[in-house]
Chains A and B, each alone.
Chain A
Amino acid sequence: MDSSLKVPKVEKEAKICLVIERDPFYKVFIENFFRKVHVEIEFVQDGVSALKRVKTRKPDLLISEALLPKVDGLALCQYIRSDPKLSDLPIIIFSILEIEEDAVESGANFFLLKPFHEREFAKSVSRFLPIQIKEANE
């Protein structure tokens, strides 16, 4: 993991990030990352579970792989954007698929192509959550 990440100030109210990812290696990476930046995370396995979850408790950020069973990441984005109660939820789509344009068209706020460096991931998360990133050369 990248040691250049500075541990941020702990927010008064912990932020929650919902992650839809099934790949065990990315799960470990994401878990470690958010632990370092003190953001609470929750994993779900597929688009259907994610929809249920966001309806019961709206997270502060949703990060989803595009390739998901049942309801894929792009369809999930569209559902969320069409729901007035959820439409302002920030969404990051990440995938090995080169679908940036389609992801943004579907309603994603940001697209991240896999594989990515921790720094890139941190930058994309910091657009939506108040985490602090310190560049290695600073």
Chain B
Amino acid sequence: MNRISTGSKNLDIILSGGVPSDSITLIAGPAGSGKSVLAHQIFFSNLKEGFRGVYLTTLGEPVYKVIKNMQSFEFFDPIMAAHSIDYEDTGFLLSKEGLKKFNDFVSYTLLNYSPSFYCIDGIDRLKYLSGDIPEFESFLYDLTGLFSAYHCTTFWLGTFTEAQIPLSHEANSCDNLIYLSMDEQGGRSLKVLKLGRSSFISGENRCTINEQGIRVTPKLFSTVRPKRSDEKEPFLWKVEPFQEFVKNAGLSKGAAILIQGEPGTGKTTAGLRFIADGIEQGEKGGIVSFKEDLSDLSGLSQFVNYDLESRVEKGEASFWFQSPTDMNLDELALRIMQMARQTGTGRLFINDLHFLFRCYSGSPSEAMRYIYSLFQVFKLARLTVLFSYGNSPYNDVLQELCDLVLVSSRKEEDYQFNALKGVKHGRFVGKMPSV
């Protein structure tokens, strides 16, 4: 099956390669959700020499308004628009003739312009012009038949709420269905609800619209079981007290370590030591922080006699601060992985992970899915990760998934680390050593 790229690499991944060619895709969503943007993005990604597209508006937004809005996007090439897209406004025809001549007009454009791509913007408006449901069904049947008779990849854009979709005739007549939504805070998401007989990534994927068009962050998921191969490379943390814990737990690279405890019990310091030790062993480090910025952490790193800022300057470690209030979890995972890949990070310290979950407003099952997937993605990438975590929700899930769990506490000047999982009788009481 040939696929049509959407102009968004991530959306193509969600759609198993793109939209199937010669099919009808309904792009549904409320007004302003980006339906026309997505359709234009697809058009401009595919219109090459010789290919043509027809973009037809109904009784919704006039075609001139659509074009005017689209010109602000970087993908919009006005010369390609003039040469390769036939913009048709059927508002006048529809208001004068009703639905009667609409299919004749579509048929005329299909026959005379031989488009490879066709878009009907405002498909939802057409039902209001039909006398009754059987008449509209018959009209839609003819329209679907028309497109099926031509080699043409078709997009219908319609304003629907998600609740209207299952009962809508338009949704039942199309082969593929993409739903775009917006929440009250302006957060956008994209969901594929149907894709012919192909598989696709189901569920809600966060997206944004900027001058480049629609950018989608695929929902974090793990389809591949992490390898439990013999190629395991032992993970070493050559600093006491952690050396013994790690050795006894028999950790290999790609392991997940959790340090859990109240504030001030040495979690962050342990994380900085984890990164410092990696650098000593020639392994680049990455720090993700939701609370402290680089200067805060650098101040803290002085306690363990470690100049974090200079390490970051030298490129031995990378630092990324992210406010947990304005981040979606899937995008966060994607960014961490991108950062790790770009910098060649081998060790990752995610500080105060509980901050992220305290700001998370999704369902617990969605959080579980996310945490599970996140761990698998790190493991697959052979990233050894240390999470510091307060006592917050999802403790049990994190403990289950981590290979080594250390509980930190402090009594006056003495730090205490107890191994809860991974080591049978691990315990350390003493001062936090310097690097």
Contact = CB atoms under 8 A, between A and B. Distances in A.
A69 interface: yes
A99 B79 CA distance: 7
A96 B82 CA distance: 10
Interface of B: 63-64, 67-68, 71, 78-79, 81-83, 85-87, 89, 92, 109, 112-113
A69 B79 contact: no
B79 A67 contact: no
Contact of B87 (A24, A67, A102): A67
A96 B79 contact: no
B79 A102 contact: yes
Contact of B83 (A23, A25, A74): A74
Interface residues of A, number: 20
B71 A67 contact: no
Contact of B85 (A24, A67, A70): A67
Given A98-B78, A99-B78, A70 B113 contact: yes
Of A23, A73, A115, the most chain B CB neighbours within 10 A belong to: A23
Contacts of B87: 67
Interface of A: 23-25, 66-70, 72-75, 95-99, 102, 114-115
Chain A at the B interface: SS class = loop
Given A96-B68, A97-B67, A98-B71, A67 B81 contact: yes
A70 B114 CA distance: 10
Contacts of A23: 63-64, 89
Name the 10 nearest CB pairs between A and B, nearest first: A97-B78, A24-B92, A69-B86, A72-B82, A66-B82, A99-B78, A96-B67, A96-B64, A67-B87, A74-B82
Q: Is the interface of B mostly helix, strand, loop or mixed?
A: helix
Contacts of B71: 96-98
Given A23-B89, A67-B87, A70-B113, A97 B82 contact: yes
Contacts of B113: 69-70
A97 B64 contact: no
B78 A114 contact: no
A120 B89 CA distance: 24
B89 A95 contact: no
A114 B64 CA distance: 9
A75 to B, nearest CB: 7
A100 B24 CA distance: 36
A75 B83 contact: yes
A73 B82 contact: yes
5 contacts: A23-B64, A67-B81, A74-B83, A96-B64, A98-B71
Among B68, B78, B89, B109, which residue has the most Cβ atoms of chain A within 10 A?
Answer: B78
B49 to A, nearest CB: 13
A105 to B, nearest CB: 10
Contacts of B78: 97-99, 102
A75 B86 CA distance: 14
B114 to A, nearest CB: 10
B79 A74 contact: yes
A73 B63 CA distance: 17
Given A73-B82, A75-B83, A115-B64, 5 more contacts: A24-B92, A68-B86, A96-B64, A96-B68, A99-B79
Contacts of B89: 23
B61 to A, nearest CB: 13
